[in-house]
Each structure stands twice: as C-alpha cells, then as structure tokens.
Amino acid sequence: HALTAVSLAGTVQIDKVAGPVGEALIMTALGLTVAIPAVLAYNAFTRVNRVTLAELDAFAHDLHAFLTTGARVGNQVGNQVGK
C-alpha cells in the first residue's frame, strides 16, 4: 500500500507513506510471533519422531535377530557380559 500511494501521488509525502509502512511493520511482527513458535514446535516434533523411529528400528533389528537365531540380542539388564 505504501509504494502504491507514493506512485499514485507522484511526490513523496511522509504522511502518505508512514501509515502503510507502520501497518506493514505491525503485520510483520504478528507474522513472526506466529511463525517462530510454529517452527520451534515443528523442530521438536521432528526430533521426537526421529528418536522414536530410531528406537523402533533398533527393536525391529533385535526382533529379526531373535526370530532368525532364537538368541536374545540387545542391551538387556540380565544379559550383560561380566555379570
């Protein structure tokens, strides 16, 4: 709106530009207050999803090894070397 008002008027007047520029700054601030928490939440959910998938992958590997060999695999409390 600010640049349109300047181009239509032909001359630059501060009162024609200040209002729309202020409006644009307010809208930018509101957009950032929404976007920043959304990006942080997205990153947190992505991290949780990645960890969960890694745990499921490890479980699937252990399950496959158990079903094919019949031996228990993995870090189990009672199955550690030296105990």
pLDDT in tens, 22-41: 888 999 999 999 999 999 99
Per-residue model confidence as pLDDT tens digits over 68-82: 998 887 665 544 444
> Can you say whether the dihedral through the CA atoms of 40, 43, 49, 50 is positive or negative?
negative
**CA-CA distance, 64 to 73, in Å (whole number)?**
10
More confident residue, 48 or 69: 48
What type of residue is 29? A
Domain residue ranges of the chain, discontinuous segments joined by +: 2-75
Alpha-carbon 4 to chain mean position: 36
Q: Which of 24-28, 42-46, 52-56 is predicted with the least confidence, judged by mean pLDDT?
A: 24-28
Predicted TM-score (pTM) of the model is 0.60
